[in-house]
Amino acid sequence: MTDPVYSPDGNYIWSGAEWIPAPPKSNQILNLKDSVIGGDVVHNTVINNDVDAVTNAVITALQRLGMVNKDETTSQIEEIIDMPILAKLEVGMHVEYFSPTNERWLDRCTITRVNRDGSYDVDVPKTSGIESKQNLDIGEEPSNIRRADDALNKGDRVLVNWKDYGTFFPGVIAEVQPHHTYMIHFDDGDVESRVPPSRIAKQADSQATQDYVEQISQEEQELIQSFKVFDEGNTGTIHASKMFKILTEMGDPLDISEAEEMFYEMGISLDSEINYKELAKIMVRPFGTKSEVIIQDAEITGNSLHGFVYAHPMLGDAQLKSSDILKISYDNHATARVETNNTIYIVGPTGWRIRPNDHPFNKPDYTTGQQVKIEWRGSWWDGLIREVRGDKYLIHYTGFDSSWDELVDESRISNR
């Protein structure tokens, strides 16, 4: 590899056609801060000449600069992500529980309750007897649960959320692996192992899904072919200097100052190599969804959300102050979706330390004869209020006789 030619002051480097700003040498510690790239977190890392590390750093920076993964919504992606293999779990289903004490998955666990905030109560068998766990979520982290059956078979055609970046790519199940995970052979030749069912959707036989697969595959190949122009040795990688040129001169280009800042913050030297096939996969995302993160002990101060987040894609489990809130919405169960620039925070009905003024529970005003939704064993049923007795309500379930009538408090009633 030819050594780069620097200017006398070391601030510029010759690209072969012009002088461009020289990013810092490798092995420099960097800080990706809110003030620089508008995210919710502070992230520290070290970039060497490792292709995977450099590629991941570039992807992260491009995401935060808004160059990829822009929040656009279409009926295509909504249809696809509404068909996950990991559908909502039901009472009586068997699951695995990730024991933080044993640091492994425990099988033969059973769902005993579906809670209003979408979490689950689970019975976990132990040598000392059955231990009940409350408010567990689906995931791959300690204290999470996941399905304990193999919902897919070798050879099934699927759409897979590649590396959990949010973009679905077509492929087939190549192998059923331990703990109900799968090896995926993507149509473009990529392979990913240990993929949980929560990232897999069956390919639906619909025109929308077919159009999506055709579009995502075509755009990916077009990008790869564009990058290949800079890959003279057919190595599957391109120099960071070429990436700098692409970002500042092609398509919807970055300002020179933005690209300089990105490379400086990442600490990538111009002799670094980037896997352009992986980069193409993340850059073709024409529409998608923001990461969804569960938050507890939440409160809104000013225009920011504060609380304790679980399995944040960058922070893990940690206290958080978000960037500015863009929108808040509530579903029929009073679960909140608090949207920021990069993330949607999920707050269950009991997840607030201080409820917002517009929270549904702040304005019940239920009256005799009012039609409502009533929670019963994790499901919501149509009904009406027969009587108001202090802070209790005598309710009647629509379509059932009066023997089912019961007194409930407002936590089991919704007017949505």
φ, ψ of residue 387 in degrees (nearest 5): -145, 150
CA 122 – CA 144 distance, rounded (Å): 10
Range of 100-114, 224-238, 254-268, 316-330 with top mean pLDDT: 100-114
pLDDT of residue 54: 66
Mean pLDDT of the chain: 75
Q: Is the pLDDT of residue 70 over 70?
A: no
pLDDT of residue 33: 30
Confidence band (pLDDT; 50, 70, 90) for 350? Answer: confident
Task: Look up residue 149 and give its two tokens.
Answer: 């059956």
The angle at the Cα of 152, spanning 165 to 167, to the nearest 5 degrees, equals 15
The residue-averaged pLDDT of 341-364 equals 81
pLDDT of residue 78: 44
Range of 199-203, 264-268, 383-387 with top mean pLDDT: 383-387
Q: Please say whether the beta carbons of 315 and 369 come within 8 A.
A: no
Q: Please say whether the beta carbons of 106 and 144 come within 8 A.
A: no
CA 86 – CA 388 distance, rounded (Å): 40
Q: Please say whether the beta carbons of 268 and 4 come within 8 A.
A: no
Range of 226-240, 242-256, 267-281 with top mean pLDDT: 226-240
Listed in sequence order, the residues at least 6 apart from 352 whose beta carbon sits closer than 8 Å to its beta carbon are 297, 298, 299, 336, 359
pLDDT of residue 111: 93
The residue-averaged pLDDT of 342-355 equals 86
Task: Look up residue 275 and give its two tokens.
Answer: 């896997």
Each residue of 274-327: pLDDT tens digit?
888 887 777 765 434 567 888 999 999 888 889 888 776 555 677 877 777 888
Each residue of 4-60: pLDDT tens digit?
666 555 555 666 665 655 654 433 333 323 323 333 332 333 344 566 666 666 666
Q: Is the pLDDT of residue 222 over 70?
A: yes
Task: Look up residue 148 and give its two tokens.
Answer: 């304990």
Q: Is the pLDDT of residue 181 over 70?
A: yes
pLDDT of residue 142: 87
Each residue of 334-344: pLDDT tens digit?
889 998 766 78
Among 187-191, 235-239, 318-322, 380-384, the least confident range = 318-322
List own/partner pairs for 152-157 with CB under 8 A and 24 or more apart. 152/85, 152/176, 152/182, 152/197, 152/200, 156/202, 157/202, 157/203
pLDDT of residue 140: 76
Each residue of 114-147: pLDDT tens digit?
888 778 999 999 888 899 999 998 877 888 888 7
Name the residue with tokens 């407002």: 410
Task: Look up residue 142 and give its two tokens.
Answer: 């300690």
Listed in sequence order, the residues at least 6 apart from 337 whose beta carbon sits closer than 8 Å to its beta carbon are 292, 328, 329, 330, 331, 344, 345, 346
pLDDT of residue 175: 92
pLDDT of residue 43: 33
Domains, the chain: 12-69+219-283 (1.10.238.10), 89-146 (2.30.30), 291-362 (no CATH), 371-414 (2.30.30.140)
pLDDT of residue 35: 27
Q: Is the pLDDT of residue 179 over 80?
A: no
Distance of CA 19 to the CA centre of its chain: 40
Q: Is the pLDDT of residue 391 over 70?
A: yes
Q: Please say whether the beta carbons of 109 and 125 come within 8 A.
A: yes
Confidence band (pLDDT; 50, 70, 90) for 174? Answer: very high
Each residue of 314-326: pLDDT tens digit?
556 778 777 778 8
Strands 291-301 and 343-347, bridge-based pairing: parallel
Q: Please say whether the beta carbons of 41 and 50 come within 8 A.
A: no
